[in-house]
Each structure stands twice: as structure tokens, then as C-alpha cells.
Amino acid sequence: MSDTLPPCPECRSAFTYEVEGQLTCPECGHEWTAGGPAGAEVRDAVGNLLADGDTVTLIKDLKLKGSSTTLKVGTKVRGIRLVDGDHDIDCKIPGVGQIGLKSQFVKKVTG
């Protein structure tokens, strides 16, 4: 409702409002944290908006640089963390450890 608040990243409604640092869209119910850098939306390979804590799956086999390990298609990664940089997802994969992924190689798990 204020001209200074950004539109909803889900439905682009201009009627967003803020409650205790959390922005909310009254039209679609989407909630997100205020104060993020402009244009910081991270989307998966099919265009779904990603957020910290989401679960994603790999959409192709990925060879780890400097290792003989290959991450297989369909590998589930829980509790991702979005970061700035070339690899925009930080995550921990059991048996592999902490790695960075590019959002173009993952798909958000819904439901």
C-alpha cells in the first residue's frame, strides 16, 4: 500500500504491506523478508522462485570439480541457502559435504 514497498515477487501485486520486517501480499498470501537486494530473486530451471530452506532435486548429473564424484540426477537436496555469486545455492549433501550449486541445474520440490 506504500509506494516504497516492492511489488509481490509471486503475483506482482502492488498492494504489499509490512509487519515486523516481513512483507506480505494480501492478494496471493505470499510472504518474504524485506531488505533483500533488488533483483535477488533466484529461480530454478523451470522458473519456480527459490527461498532459503527449500528442497530441490538435481535435473542432470553433475561432475564435482577436482573429484571423481558425480551427483546423480534426482538427488534431493534439503535446506538450501541462497547466496550471491556464480553458484547461487549453498547446500550440504550427505556423503559429499558442503557444495555450491547453480540454480539452473535444480528443480524445486513442491508438496
Residue 35 gets the label, from left (phi > 0), alpha (psi -120 to 50) or beta, of left
- The answer on pLDDT for 36 being more than 80 is no
CA proximity to 106, closest of 70, 80, 67, 85? 80
Between these two residues, 65 and 20, which has the higher pLDDT value? 65
pLDDT of amino acid 40: 64
**Euclidean distance between the first and the last CA atom of the chain, given in angstroms as a whole number:** 31
Q: How confident is the model at residue 37 (pLDDT cuts 50, 70, 90)?
A: very low
- The answer on pLDDT for 20 being more than 80 is no
